[in-house]
Amino acid sequence: MMLDRVISGEGRGKRRLWAACGECGEAEPTLRCRDQDCLGGQMFCRRCILLRHAALPLHWVEEWDGRKFTRRGLKEIGLRVQLGHAPLEAGPGLPGHNRGAICAFRTTANKDFVVLHTNGIHNVAVDYCGCGRSEEARDQLLDACWWPATPMDPQTCCTFTLLRHFHTLNTLGKVSGYDYYRSLELLTDNTGNVKLPDRRRPFMRCAREWRNIQLFKRAGRAHDPGGIEGTEDGGLSLFCHACPQPQINLPENWRDEPASTAFKYFLHLGQDANFRLRGRLVSSDAKDPTLGQGLAYFVNKIPYTEHIKNYVNQDEISSCSGFAAMFLANLKRVKGLRTSGVGGVTCTRHNMWRANGMGDLQKGERYCNMDWVLASSMRNCEILYVIFTYDIACQYYKNFWDRMRKLPQYLHLNIPPSNLFFYVPNFHLPPHKDDCHGPFSLHFAPGVGMSNGEGIEQNWENSNGAASQTKQMGPGSRQDTLDDILGAHNYRKTLALRRILLKRMIEALKEGVKHRRALDAFTAGLESAEEGLTARWEKEEREWQQDKSKPCPYRVIRKGTSLIFKWRRLTSISGKTMKDIELELAKEEFEVTASNVQVVHESSRSMFVVMGLEIEEAQRVLDFDVRAKKAATTYQELEFQKRRNELKRKIDRFRTLQDIYMPALRDELQPEQAALLKTNAKKEVESIKLFLPSALSSNKRANACAPGVSDIEERLRLGEATDALETLRDGLRMRTVTNCFKIENITGQRSNTRAQGIQHQIDVKIHSAKVRYRYAREAYAALVGPGPWANLLQVLGDEDVRALNERALTTEEKAEEERMRDGGLLNELASGGVAAAGVVVTGEGRRTLSWIWYTGAAGGMGEGEQSAAANEALRAEWCKGMARAARWREEIILLEEEMRRSITSAEYMAGKWEERARWRAAAEVDAGGALAAELAEGLAGYAYEHASTARVRVGVLRAAWAEVREKAKIVLDGLDSGNLVDVTVATRVETDENESGDHGMYEELHD
């Protein structure tokens, strides 16, 4: 139906549309204008359609020839465009032409005059005004919102609408000028039968001039009496509203902030190189100069190039393993290139490019380039402390200040060496040597919050879309294009701060309380075994922060398999294993026998319960083995049947004892349940229910069981849960060591296959212990009910079955694991976490230690080499937990400060634009002159528009953040006082899946 409706539009449509001219009523007109700003398909005569399009000269019209429509330009049917006079201005006009004014002294533009618009390439007949009020042709075209390709005798123009359209697509979608112009050609003629004028080069020139003028306009250079010539280096860049900016968004006494909260005013910078943004050896600086040398994000090329000439033969290869190969690779494939890439600097908290924070690289990632770019981006920086991240910071910091002294005086940094802290971004740190992990990790750095240092990598993802187009450009065009793209990125990030900071604060309020609770629980478990232990570890950590030459408290030194240690219990309800309890029961029964009390049966009550527990365990093992062999061979089926027969005999013996020690059981069960007590019940033995006391309600249990049977099961279930938990921990420790040994020593398919077999056996042991614990805990809970014991023997989820060095799966990883399990690609032995070796692992900032390591029967405070290893592992994990809790608390404080700064920055910009509205006019008056009225009004109008926008943004930010800022105070008070408070935030975060630099999975892994 829709197809028929659309295809009918290829004809004249309903008779009412073409029976008479829609303006004058002339019969059967032949022209119409549709698919544009003109609504509907009404047809007009030639005279009337020209009258209607006197002010719309860039529409396409269609002419009916009796069989079909043919597309026409308005020039073809007689329209001429008079510049310098309003199209609808009162005037004599021309009969049958248009109702606008025609200049009596008009001059004709070039006969091949072409205007590029968003709907195609138009040939236009243009007349310039030549009367006394006339201006230059260039100015008349600009007044018509047509941008001339040349200042003298222009032959090509681009409409402002087209330039804005291309500008947006280029900066956001990275659409190249070539592709955009090709789209204009196809919009004009998609048949290939019409020869179109080639105006691609004029279009590229117009686009480049447009983007340059827009940079100056938005930076307020038209309002400054100094004009374009007075623009300082970096003056066209957008500063980060959330970063600390003295004289803009910091309080007057910010330098006097106490040391405990001075981190609020730290500046977070990150540096990196990108070898995707290359530039071919095309054109030259003389033929293609930049239009804004050093005025935006690129450094001033002239002094920069002179500096680089002094280091022609400088090569630096990283001394940190894993990076040397990368550096060598970056030195290759530079033939035919003017620039092998770029080096850049951003603020890592908000991913905004720094002014003069980018420079071209000539041959790899050399210090001489990166030093200049960093110093240039920090020029005149007044911030007292800087957190600096770089993927090779462990090498880069060496001799850094010596290299800085070799730079020109105006680039020397204003901060003392002790106030510049070097770190490696979170994602880049694990491949470094273990020696780098502690000193250069943001996870262990006081005052950095949850900064991950990876923001610049996300920025490259955004800018790399322009790599293919900028690689082919001359040096000036390339730099101007990248400057513009970087500025557009900063503007969009400024607008996104409302959503990004809100999202981060909501998360920080939750994670801050969560990690503090985890730390308190861990600390309580450790202190119950040895009082003052965590205080000693905390002191060691503080000392290490002051002197990094001391042993790193976050690092565990592995010696062979010393991590396979046995742990003495920290805290336990009974402090006894199942065998201990069995021994106690046997002694108690012996005492009963020794006191001449008559023994009625050979098998005691405890033997009866123990037999039931053993049968349950055998059932679970058999059931697992059967399900693991879905396509079992005949031999395997035979083995299963033998095991079933043996288990059936044990169950028969158990039923005999059950009649003795649970004599009234049949009376308490439903008929269908009681049928299962028959020895000939037709059911797989591994699924036969035994009906131990824990399977009954308290009333039924009291009626069905002989005295003392329930108490015996209660004691044995506690021991069973304790044993299962210890077995689970043993398996997890074994898995950790096996994985490390395999990674370090096993190579080759044959050896790896054998190692996988061993790992599978360990996984089976872990799974069996997990299931056994769950059954034992459930039974114990049924017997004793809720109580303090549940704080020690907690519910064991799959995500809790993790080794000390494993993190929980992310949401995306859980979904992927579930999908693979549903597809039969993953069995139930899959790990509940992701293992990693080294001091720092991915996701360290959100990782929590599983409760199994510090509650229940956890341990590690014994003596000997193995317990020393346990102590060391616990210390490292406790210190990491303390660091995570501290970082999340700092994150809340930082986010609150960043919200305040963002609001203050918007207020500052509103006031700045209000001042700019009067700057130039006041300067002209002081000089004894006056601005033209239209210029003064334009300057004021543009300034007040921006001031109004900034004022509105202030209100929007305050409203969006009001709730979370209030909740942040409550959470911080709780964290500082120890009275933790969970808060709920009603404010919803708007989702933007395409927003660069805010990828959930990426941040979750790298924080």
End-to-end CA distance of the chain, in Å? Answer: 54
Taking the CA atoms of the chain, what radius of gyration do you get in angstroms? Answer: 39
d(C-alpha 254, C-alpha 237), whole Å: 25
Range among 75-84, 350-359, 428-437, 862-871 rated most confident: 350-359
The residue written with tokens 């046995």 in the block is 566
Q: By the 8 A CB rule, do 297 and 486 touch? A: yes
The mean pLDDT of the chain is 85
Contacts of 532 (CB under 8 A, 6+ apart): none
d(C-alpha 543, C-alpha 557), whole Å: 19
Which of 127, 139, 114 has its CA nearest to residue 54? 127
- Domain-wise residue ranges, the chain: 1-78, 265-284+291-501, 603-707
Which of 977, 946, 839 has its CA nearest to residue 443? 839
Q: How confident is the model at residue 602 (pLDDT cuts 50, 70, 90)?
A: low
Residue 719 has a pLDDT of: 87
pLDDT tens-digit map of 391-403 = 999 999 999 999 9
What CA–CA distances, in Å, run from 413 to 10, 134, 409, 490, 718?
Answer: 69, 55, 9, 24, 65
Share above pLDDT 90 across residues of the chain, in percent, rounded to a whole number: 49
* 736 vs 780: which has the higher pLDDT: 780
Is pLDDT above 60 for 919? yes
pLDDT tens-digit map of 484-502 = 999 999 999 999 999 999 9
**Helices 475-529 & 160-173 angle (0-180, nearest 10):** 40
Is pLDDT above 80 for 56? yes
Please name the amino acid found at residue 14: K
Q: By the 8 A CB rule, do 181 and 203 touch? A: yes
Residue 702 has a pLDDT of: 87
DSSP state of 988: P
What CA–CA distances, in Å, run from 606 to 579, 588, 599, 717?
Answer: 12, 10, 13, 12
Q: By the 8 A CB rule, do 810 and 1004 touch? A: yes
pLDDT tens-digit map of 767-799 = 889 999 999 999 999 998 888 888 888 888 888
* 637 vs 493: which has the higher pLDDT: 493
Q: By the 8 A CB rule, do 384 and 253 touch? A: no
pLDDT tens-digit map of 578-596 = 777 877 777 776 666 555 5
Is pLDDT above 70 for 234? yes
How many helices, marked H, and strands, marked E, lie in the chain?
29, 20
DSSP state of 430: T
d(C-alpha 49, C-alpha 22), whole Å: 9
In the numeric block, which tokens belong to residue 46? 């030639």
Range among 85-89, 155-159, 533-537 rated most confident: 155-159
Contacts of 83 (CB under 8 A, 6+ apart): 126, 127, 128, 129, 137, 140, 141, 143, 144
* 912 vs 744: which has the higher pLDDT: 912
pLDDT tens-digit map of 536-551 = 999 999 999 999 989 9
d(C-alpha 134, C-alpha 105), whole Å: 10
Alpha-carbon dihedral angle through residues 254, 260, 261, 265, given to the nearest 10 degrees? 60
pLDDT tens-digit map of 797-817 = 888 888 877 766 655 555 665
Residue 810 has a pLDDT of: 56
d(C-alpha 934, C-alpha 602), whole Å: 113
Which of 316, 458, 471, 462 has its CA nearest to residue 394? 316
d(C-alpha 338, C-alpha 301), whole Å: 13
Residue 669 has a pLDDT of: 84
d(C-alpha 805, C-alpha 831), whole Å: 13
Please name the amino acid found at residue 440: F
- H-type alpha helices, 119-261: 137-143, 160-173, 177-188, 200-218
The residue written with tokens 């995570």 in the block is 884
State the burial class of residue 801 (Cβ atoms within 10 Å of its Cβ: 0-12, 13-18, 19+): buried
Residue 1004 has a pLDDT of: 42
Residue 215 has a pLDDT of: 96
* 165 vs 870: which has the higher pLDDT: 165
Is pLDDT above 50 for 472? yes
Residue 344 has a pLDDT of: 96
DSSP β-ladder status, 60-64 and 69-73 = antiparallel
d(C-alpha 886, C-alpha 890), whole Å: 6
* 955 vs 604: which has the higher pLDDT: 955
Residue 634 has a pLDDT of: 87
Residue 908 has a pLDDT of: 98
* 951 vs 727: which has the higher pLDDT: 951
What CA–CA distances, in Å, run from 887 to 450, 451, 498, 930?
Answer: 6, 9, 22, 57
Provide the β-strand partners of residue 270.
346, 389
Burial pattern 246-278, b for ≥16 Cβ within 10 A else e, equals eebbbeeebeeeeeeeebbbbbbbbbbbbbbbb
Q: By the 8 A CB rule, do 344 and 296 touch? A: no
d(C-alpha 780, C-alpha 774), whole Å: 10
Share above pLDDT 70 across residues of the chain, in percent, rounded to a whole number: 85
Is pLDDT above 80 for 867? no
- H-type alpha helices, 427-474: 434-437, 455-463, 467-470
Q: Is 141 left (phi over 0), alpha (psi -120 to 50) or beta?
A: alpha
Q: What is the mean pLDDT of residues 721-737?
A: 84
pLDDT tens-digit map of 97-118 = 445 568 888 889 988 999 999 9
pTM of the model: 0.83
pLDDT tens-digit map of 890-904 = 999 999 999 999 999
Provide the β-strand partners of residue 388.
269, 422
Q: How confident is the model at residue 4 (pLDDT cuts 50, 70, 90)?
A: confident
Alpha-carbon dihedral angle through residues 402, 404, 410, 411, given to the nearest 10 degrees? -170
What does the chain come to in residues?
Answer: 1007
Residue 986 has a pLDDT of: 87
What is the residue-wise DSSP string for 831-878?
Answer: -SEEE--SS--TTTTT----GGGTSTT-B---SSHHHHHHHHHHHHHH
In the sheet with 120-123, reading across from the earlier edge strand, the strands are 120-123, 114-117, 156-159, 146-148
pLDDT tens-digit map of 959-999 = 999 999 999 999 999 999 989 989 999 888 876 644 444 44
d(C-alpha 533, C-alpha 96), whole Å: 99
pLDDT tens-digit map of 270-281 = 999 999 999 999
Q: How confident is the model at residue 706 (pLDDT cuts 50, 70, 90)?
A: confident
Residue 402 has a pLDDT of: 94
Consecutive H or E run containing 343: strand 341-347
